[in-house]
Amino acid sequence: MLELVRFAAVVLLCVYGISGTSIRPEPNFVGSSLKNITVPEGRDVVLSCTVKNLDGHKVAWIHYDRSAILTVDKTVITRNQRIGVSHEGHHTWNLHIRDVQRTDAGAYMCQINTAKAKTRMGHLTVVVPPKIEDSQSSSDKVRTEGSDVTLQCHATGSPKPTVTWKRENGTPINIDKANNISVVHVEGTSLLLHKVSRLDMGAYMCIATNGVPPTISKRIQLNVDFPPMMWVPAQQMNVYYGQDATLVCVVEAHPDALVYWEFNGQIVQENQGYHMKILKGPPSPKYKTVMKMYIPRVLRHHFGTYACKAKNPRGDTDGIITLSERPSLTSQPPPTTTTVTTTTTKTTRDWKKGDMYGSSLNEFNDLQSQKKRKQIEYHYETTSRYDMDHLYAPHGNNSNQEKASLIFTFFAVILTSKLIS
């Protein structure tokens, strides 16, 4: 390097000569060093060098790391078209670098062509935002459930970027299923997932950062294939005749399964009085499908066995729902017939002289004898709306009593004949 400095001094002396022989103050720098500069790649930068007492001496700029003379006084020596030079009253000399590249980084020397060259050093640091190299990084992947998966993400930049892995939906990353260990993020260019399941399915974000904006990321979609699995919330449904009914089956499958309904072994069509829906998407996982079949009014021919079926390239499955009739709430048990048995007890006694019309008259005579003891009891049941008590009251004249006795006797005869028949 010393030879380079001497060479630069010789060049300056040969080209521009040595200034007057009279004793003058020595040229010197203002400040002990040049300012160190950090600049992002692609920007423009200016390196400045301030001198005093320059007189006829010249200032040169040199890329110290590459041993390259860039400018001398007002002349650009290098062939690099991005390099330029300017000055402010021969006191401040500026080196211009346009569209800075990573190769421009390093040490720069400002030199005065004195007999013993005087120099000042400064450093240019070129920082480069992170960049993910797609050719060396993973693209979207498809794996079967239970297999191992490795995702790669390589990034360049200056300083060297740090690579961090996260899941796009914010859920933890399962790094050790055996011990149930999950973490929010993983650092490193590789992400290893053991025995992936459908829960690992989704987008993984590879994020590269090095403190130089902007931060960059790459999205890698991991799909996990598995055969359909069916879950039936209600396998036995009892509904009333005429009521509506909704049959539900839940399918998990990837890739998406072909789903349909069967009734008693026949595929159910929409135009047969059924309304069918297939529900997918958030908040449910992408591999989950809800099958619904709605029957607005259940009739006799709707009762039977239904099957929800699902097929994909990995396999097939089904679920069974039995729709049965429930007895109506308005049904009443058959009426209960109550039989009322009336037992009539007749008291007969021996025939007496003067008895008339058989045993009925004997009953009448018993009543007459009871009157004498003034303990008379009457019991008569009738469906008539008329009150007959006034006919049988124990008071009144004898003629009324006799009339009552005759009427009672008449009814007693009729009642007796009815019972006998």
Question: What sign does the dihedral 38-40-41-43 (CA atoms) show?
Answer: negative
Quote the pLDDT of residue 332: 52
Does residue 361 register a pLDDT over 80? no
Task: Measure CA of the first residue to CA of the last residue in the chain; give whole Å.
Answer: 153
The Cα–Cα gap between 18 and 61 comes to 19
Quote the pLDDT of residue 350: 47
Give the CATH number of domain 2-128.
2.60.40.10
- How many residues are recorded in the chain? 421
Quote the pLDDT of residue 126: 96
**Domain 232-326 bears CATH identifier 3.40.50.300:** no
Whether omega for the bond prior to residue 327 falls within 30 degrees of 0, making it cis, is no
Quote the pLDDT of residue 380: 38
314-317-318 Cα angle (round to 5): 160
Contact 209, 161 (CB under 8 A): yes
Does residue 389 register a pLDDT over 70? no
Q: Work out the number of other CB atoms within 10 angstroms of the CB of residue 167.
A: 17
Does residue 263 register a pLDDT over 60? yes
DSSP three-state, residue 417: helix
Quote the pLDDT of residue 31: 84
Contact 279, 335 (CB under 8 A): no
The Cα–Cα gap between 70 and 11 comes to 13
Does residue 134 register a pLDDT over 50? yes
Identify the H or E element spanning 92: strand 92-97
Does residue 89 register a pLDDT over 90? no
285-287-289 Cα angle (round to 5): 90
pLDDT average, residue stretch 106-129: 94
Domain ranges of the chain: 2-128, 133-225, 232-326, 359-420
Superfamily of structural domain 133-225: Immunoglobulins (2.60.40.10)
**Closest by alpha carbon to 61, among 73, 46, 45?**
73
The Cα–Cα gap between 48 and 35 comes to 8
Kindly state the tokens that stand for 255.
């890739």
* Residue carrying structure tokens 């009738």: 382
Pairing outcome for strands 141-144 and 75-76 = unpaired
The Cα–Cα gap between 389 and 168 comes to 101
DSSP three-state, residue 332: coil
Confidence of residue 90 (pLDDT cuts 50, 70, 90): confident
Does residue 9 register a pLDDT over 60? no
Say how many CA atoms lie within 13 Å of 12 toward its Cβ: 28
Question: What sign does the dihedral 194-200-202-203 (CA atoms) show?
Answer: negative
Show the beta-strand stretches assigned E in 327-372: none
Q: What is the CA radius of gyration of the chain?
A: 58
* Residue carrying structure tokens 């919330």: 233
Q: Partners of 87 in the beta sheet?
A: 93
Contact 308, 230 (CB under 8 A): yes
Tell me, rounded to whole angstroms, the distance of Cα 289 from its chain centroid.
13
How far from 215 is each of 154, 157, 212, 259, CA to CA, in Å?
Answer: 14, 11, 7, 43
User: Which of 5-9, 157-161, 382-386 shows the lowest mean pLDDT across its residues?
Assistant: 382-386
Question: What sign does the dihedral 81-82-87-88 (CA atoms) show?
Answer: positive
Q: What is the pLDDT of residues 202-236, one digit of tens each?
A: 999 999 999 999 999 999 999 999 999 999 999 99
Show the beta-strand stretches assigned E in 19-117: 28-29, 37-40, 45-52, 59-63, 68-72, 75-76, 83-88, 92-97, 106-112
Kindly state the tokens that stand for 347.
């008291």
The Cα–Cα gap between 133 and 233 comes to 48
